[in-house]
């Protein structure tokens, strides 16, 4: 019997312990009489407006050399992958038998023109001697009269021959330029990125370059701007670059170029299709270059504006549907106040309308804070 009473006593104690815990969990805490919060007011801070644009790492300056069938047969590729080249370095040479024949024909024509002019000049000299002999016989006036038509004819022939020689010389210069074009030279200083000897023999609509030259030490990030963003982005603005591939690092740069005309405008018009208008953007990287290779993707955060503005910590601003709002404290209670915001950064949100400097705003509103709840700071 004694053991039974001991068991009943233990059960009662356990029940009391459980009941007390249930009561404590259900009973209002000190926060219910006034949930503890932190408050502050809007402050003037420097805030930056930014435009985020995806971009691709590219060579700042590059050259593609394609096979040009009209120049002749590709005779020799004078560089290999990895070679350093300067502006003017020979890259490829062509041979053109037809051009060689035209050049030889031009030389023969030029010699013929000169010979013809010399012959006419000799005839004019002979005519002068003939005129002097006639003067002795018929007098100066009569001699000039008899010789005039023949001299005029010879002078006309000489003029025609000189014009033909001039035309031949112009053709010679044109041929010389074409001969010079048989040797393709580098237009930039850089490194030979690739050499494709087979590109000259491939017959397809998509032509591949024989040689690609770029400068790995001179890279830029290029992207596209919308019509709206192109009004805000200007040359010289500061840019912060990040990459999902190279995590934990950022790079600085500046906007080096914004296109005056959109990309693909002509092709879209030719196809009769409407496409979103996009303007080319180029950012010059400052300092150490990324470890990435051309083709790597980057995010460009362009600082388009920096100014003073009334702000709150971003975590103080909440959103319901399309309406932003904050909680202020009035008479010990939370009060919802709708606000109009401006620029938003990771840490700060610009407050354009809805609050004054005197309003005390809850800086750390939890999801449990509601309009009218008693709070204490």
pLDDT digits (tens, 9 = 90+) for 67-105: 998 898 899 999 999 999 999 999 999 999 988 899 999
- What is the per-residue pLDDT across 228-237, written as a single tens digit (0 to 9) for each? 999 999 999 9
**Would you say the C-alpha torsion 332, 337, 343, 346 has a positive or negative sign?**
positive
Q: What is the pLDDT of residue 203?
A: 63
Position 33 pLDDT exceeds 70 = no
* DSSP summary character for residue 60: S
Taking only Cα atoms into account, the Rg of the chain, rounded to an integer number of angstroms, comes to: 44
CA distances from 376 to 101, 135, 228, 331 (A): 100, 134, 45, 10
Structure tokens at 50: 């930014």
- What is the per-residue pLDDT across 287-335, written as a single tens digit (0 to 9) for each? 888 888 899 999 999 998 888 999 999 999 999 999 999 999 998 999 9
Structure tokens at 212: 């690609």
53-61+216-305 CATH choice from 1.20.58.220, 2.40.30.10, 3.40.50.300, 2.40.30.170: 2.40.30.170
Structure tokens at 133: 């002999």
Position 34 pLDDT exceeds 90 = no
Residue 286's DSSP bridge partners are: 252
Residue 183's DSSP bridge partners are: 93
Q: Which of 10-14, 132-136, 229-233 has the highest mean pLDDT?
A: 229-233
Structure tokens at 371: 């309009």
Position 274 pLDDT exceeds 70 = no
Does residue 45 or residue 23 have the better pLDDT?
45
Confidence of residue 361 (pLDDT cuts 50, 70, 90): very high
- What is the per-residue pLDDT across 163-190, written as a single tens digit (0 to 9) for each? 999 999 999 999 999 899 999 999 999 9
Position 204 pLDDT exceeds 90 = no
Q: Please name the residue ranges forming H helices in the chain.
A: 2-26, 97-138, 140-180, 227-230, 265-271
Q: What is the pLDDT of residue 282?
A: 96
Position 26 pLDDT exceeds 50 = no
Q: What does DSSP say about strands 73-77 and 90-95: parallel, antiparallel, or unpaired?
A: antiparallel
CA distances from 226 to 180, 262, 307 (A): 44, 9, 24
Distance separating the N- and C-terminal Cα atoms of the chain: 58
Position 128 pLDDT exceeds 90 = no
Question: Is residue 117 left, alpha or beta, with left meaning phi > 0 and alpha meaning psi from -120 to 50?
Answer: alpha
Q: 199 by DSSP, 3-state: which?
A: helix
Q: What are phi and psi of 335, to 5 degrees?
A: -130, 125
Cα-based angle 187, 208, 96 (whole degrees, multiple of 5): 70
| Rounded Cα–Cα distance for residues 23 and 174 (Å) | 104
The chain-wide mean pLDDT, for the chain, equals 85
Annotation: CATH topology of 31-47+306-376: 2.40.420
Q: 154 by DSSP, 3-state: which?
A: helix
Q: What are phi and psi of 218, to 5 degrees?
A: -130, 85
Q: What is the pLDDT of residue 202?
A: 67
CA atoms within 13 A on the CB side of 30: 4
| Rounded Cα–Cα distance for residues 156 and 124 (Å) | 11
Position 120 pLDDT exceeds 70 = yes
Domain ranges of the chain: 31-47+306-376, 53-61+216-305, 63-92+189-215, 97-181
Position 136 pLDDT exceeds 50 = yes
Position 372 pLDDT exceeds 70 = yes
Is residue 222 within 8 Å of residue 97, measured between CB atoms? no
| Rounded Cα–Cα distance for residues 246 and 296 (Å) | 10
Position 157 pLDDT exceeds 70 = yes
Does residue 29 or residue 223 have the better pLDDT?
223
Q: What is the pLDDT of residue 376?
A: 84
Confidence of residue 29 (pLDDT cuts 50, 70, 90): very low
Structure tokens at 163: 């014009």
């Amino acid at each position: 019997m004694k053991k039974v009473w001991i068991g009943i006593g233990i059960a009662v104690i356990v029940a009391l312990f459980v009941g007390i815990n249930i009561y404590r969990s259900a009973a209002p805490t000190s926060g219910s009489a006034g949930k503890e919060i932190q408050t502050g007011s809007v402050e003037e801070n420097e805030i930056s407006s930014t435009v985020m644009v995806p971009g691709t790492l590219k060579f700042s300056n590059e050259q593609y050399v394609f096979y040009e069938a009209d120049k002749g047969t590709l005779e020799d590729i004078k560089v290999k992958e990895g070679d350093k080249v300067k502006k003017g370095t020979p890259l490829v040479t062509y041979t053109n038998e037809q051009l060689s024949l035209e050049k030889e024909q031009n030389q023969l024509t030029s010699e013929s023109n000169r010979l013809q002019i010399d012959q006419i000049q000799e005839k004019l000299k002979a005519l002068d001697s003939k005129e002097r002999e006639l003067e002795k016989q018929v007098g100066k006036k009569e001699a000039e009269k008899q010789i005039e038509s023949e001299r005029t004819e010879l002078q006309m022939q000489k003029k025609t021959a000189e014009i033909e020689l001039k035309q031949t010389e112009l053709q010679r210069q044109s041929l010389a330029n074409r001969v010079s074009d048989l040797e393709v030279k580098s237009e930039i200083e850089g490194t030979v990125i690739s050499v494709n000897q087979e590109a000259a023999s491939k017959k397809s609509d998509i032509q591949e370059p024989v040689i690609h030259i770029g400068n790995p030490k001179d890279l830029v990030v290029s992207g596209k701007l919308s019509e709206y963003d192109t009004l805000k982005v200007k040359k010289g603005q500061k840019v912060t670059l990040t990459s999902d591939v190279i995590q934990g690092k950022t790079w600085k740069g500046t906007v080096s170029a914004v296109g005056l005309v959109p990309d693909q405008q002509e092709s879209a018009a030719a196809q009769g299709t409407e496409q979103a208008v996009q303007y080319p953007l180029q950012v010059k990287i400052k300092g150490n270059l990324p470890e990435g290779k051309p083709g790597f993707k980057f995010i460009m955060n362009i600082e388009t504006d920096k100014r003073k503005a009334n702000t709150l910590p971003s975590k103080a601003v909440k959103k319901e549907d399309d309406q932003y709002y904050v909680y202020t404290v009035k008479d010990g209670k939370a009060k919802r106040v709708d606000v109009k915001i401006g620029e938003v950064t990771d840490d700060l949100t610009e407050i354009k309308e809805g609050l004054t400097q005197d309003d005390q705003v809850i800086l750390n509103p939890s999801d449990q804070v509601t309009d009218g709840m008693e709070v204490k700071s």
